[in-house]
Amino acid sequence: MHFELQKQDSWSSARRGVVHTRRGTIQTPAFMPVGTFGAVRTLDLADLQSLNPDIILGNTYHLMLRPGVEVFNHFGGIHGFIGWEKPVLTDSGGYQIFCLPHHRTITEEGARFRSYHDGRFFMLSPEKSIEVQTAIGSDIMMVLDQCIESTADINATRKAMEITHRWALRSLEARSDATQALFAIVQGGVDEALRYESVDFLTQHPFDGFAIGGLAVGETKREREDFTELVAARLPQNKPRYLMGVGTPIDLLEAVRRGVDMFDCVIPTMYAERGKVFTSQGKKNVLPVANRLSDQPLDPECECSTCRQYSLGYLNHLSKCEEPTGWRLLALHNQHYYQHLMRQIRNAIETDSFESLYRDLTRQWTAPLSPRRADINSSVNYY
């Protein structure tokens, strides 16, 4: 795998690039739909192909529990199992371990936890995480890290950062297939010195890319943006940068402005379940009774199949009835919105108009939706 930097924005740190992988290219900046269990929730393969993302994301923790390594070995990896031919990135499971504070024990060896599925105990070590990701056959693997609250005290933050560094080197040593890219994860909370120390340590080793971890776990929006900028500016120009688990459209725009290339988040699907969508006019709630008689589309400027075929009134009805079809149609729209946003951003960087796009979209999103982290944590078992 290698990263090709094609254009650097003259107004900001935004950059246009291409990640070359063994299963094709990823145009960046890129948003990866989250397919935790090997499927983007409510969407089938035809839906994904219509959205045309360059890459999707799966999760090692969940896929290790179900269906398990034996299944992936039988099917020859995740691509043949789910019918997806393009690249797949797998998270290592570190964030899911973080979300199980009463059901796991972390030691130097790794994280011992109780399965939410059947109550059995598992040990997820750096080596085990790489073993599972190798069986899954993901094109980009993540090292196992220890994620903690970004607001933890300095001693706890340093301890988590240092164990993440040691686990990263063990993950690198455990990799058996060099065609599977491996990204390290920068930690250090909201301490500037620790973040610099983490970047400087990890960039001394031959990782294929770098993720900015340990954000969106308790800090303020301003802190998240400041530390994203701080870390991205210190990372190598010739390697992709991935901000994990972020976020709303305005969050993505702000991170691109600060030099980030890749993103993932459950928000497009999770909000669809709650009747919330992103449109060219801003955030919209489908559920209010005022929408009951509307024969207008969700977004008159959107070309997705939901907006072309269904009225807001019908989508209001499906959502109020908690009909799964409504969830699916809104999820399809939100995922389309995110992919369209990434295309807009890439085009703006290419044409030296990113500053104009940034100002237009930030005016449009003057009151962006900022979910409580607990809302996302509560969904960890199925996203």
Q: Which of 9, 54, 91, 191 is catalytic?
A: 91
Q: Judge whether 47 counts as a catalytic residue.
A: no
Other beta carbons within 10 angstroms of residue 198's beta carbon come to: 29
Q: Which of 54, 145, 264, 299 is catalytic?
A: 264
d(CA 126, CA 40): 26
Q: Are 184 and 116 in contact (CB under 8 A)?
A: no
Angle between helices 324-350 and 312-320 (to 10 degrees): 130
φ/ψ of residue 140, rounded to 5: -130, 120
Q: Judge whether 91 counts as a catalytic residue.
A: yes
Count Cα atoms within 13 angstroms, Cβ side, for 130.
22
Sheet of strand 111-114, all strands in order from the earlier edge strand to the far edge: 104-106, 111-114, 121-124
Any residues with CB less than 8 A from the CB of 99 and at least 6 apart, and which? 377, 380
Catalytic residues: 91, 264
